[in-house]
Amino acid sequence: MFIAGLDFTSNPGHTKKNKIIIAEIINENVIIKEFLVFSDFKALTNFFSESGPLFCGCDFPFNFPVDYQNELSISNFTNMKKFIKKFDKNEFKTLLRKIQNQRKTGNKYTYRLTDKENSAGSPVNVINPPIGLMLFEGLKMFASIDCSVYPFEKVDTNKINFFEVYPKSFLKNNNFLNQYKNENKNIEYQFYNRKKYTIAIKKFIEEKLQLRILIPNKIEQELYIDFRGDVLDAFICLTITLNIYKKKLHKCPLKKIYKKEGFIFNGLEN
């Protein structure tokens, strides 16, 4: 089985890109096979359209909170994907801002239960940070390829399967609290933090998941030198997805609210 971690941005371009790390599990070995960079959504979507069976962890929200679903008359995830197709990015942003402008302060940006549990941002916020735009672009991608999106659709090992994961929660839960990224410049102590975290994550995979991990030196160096931290975030997404696959967490029962709103994996689930 192939496992992937995707560090996602809603605005890929010259500096910020979508980055994915792909591994293959053979017996008890995790072999990192590829590190890929995508400058636009068309190339990323084409990649997934042409991929074989895959478990992929992504660091963006998959759905609205229930109150927004109700307000927009969205009854299920299939309808959500159809709903998204009606808008371009600016129209979608305008729609959410219109709803928020009609609401009282404190109730504009609501949260899913899984967001609250992981101290994650609101998936309807389209500014600072624009998490809602990540949701928009992600759903556009899901709607255009043959895939299964957990927990709304049944996991199918013959398809691409997407899971929502959260690197920040994984780091916090493992007491990795030192800064390791900067959007604008390389900072020396953060380089050592990225190296330290990479070593610790490899140890997590070997000790907690009982898997041997093999990373080509060229890709491991990318984990250290990417001062924005995107490559390391993709590696963390992959690690959380390994945990899902190894422990068969996608087969565990979930509360109805998660099946309606979505569920964030943080790598500590049993």
d(C-alpha 59, C-alpha 53), whole Å? 20
Handedness of CA 82, 42, 136, 177 (dihedral sign): positive
Determine the pLDDT at residue 105.
84
Q: Contact, 131 vs 164, CB < 8 A? A: no
How far is 52 from 154, CA to CA, in rounded Å?
17
Q: Write down the residue that tokens 């402008």 correspond to.
A: 101
Could you give the percent of the chain with pLDDT greater than 90? 86
pLDDT tens digits, 129-174: 889 999 999 999 999 999 999 999 999 999 999 999 999 999 998 8
The DSSP element (H or E) to which 223 belongs, if any, is helix 217-225
Which pair of structure tokens corresponds to residue 245? 């696959």
Cα 144 from Cα 50, distance rounded (Å): 12
Domain housing 32: 1-270
Q: What percentage of the chain reaches a pLDDT higher than 70? A: 100
The overall average pLDDT reported for the chain is: 93
Q: Which amino acid is at 93?
A: K
Q: What is the pLDDT of residue 128?
A: 82
pLDDT value of residue 14: 72
The pLDDT-based confidence of 183 (bands split at 50, 70, 90) is confident
pLDDT tens readout for residues 30-75: 999 999 999 988 999 999 999 999 999 999 999 999 999 999 999 9
| Whether 206 contacts 169, CB under 8 Å | no
Element (H, E) at 212: strand 212-214
User: Is the backbone of residue 73 left (phi > 0), alpha (psi -120 to 50) or beta?
Assistant: left
pLDDT higher than threshold 80 for residue 268: no
pLDDT greater than 80 at residue 270:
no
Calculate mean pLDDT across residues 248-261.
95
Domain total of the chain:
1
Cβ neighbours of 78 (radius 10 Å): 12
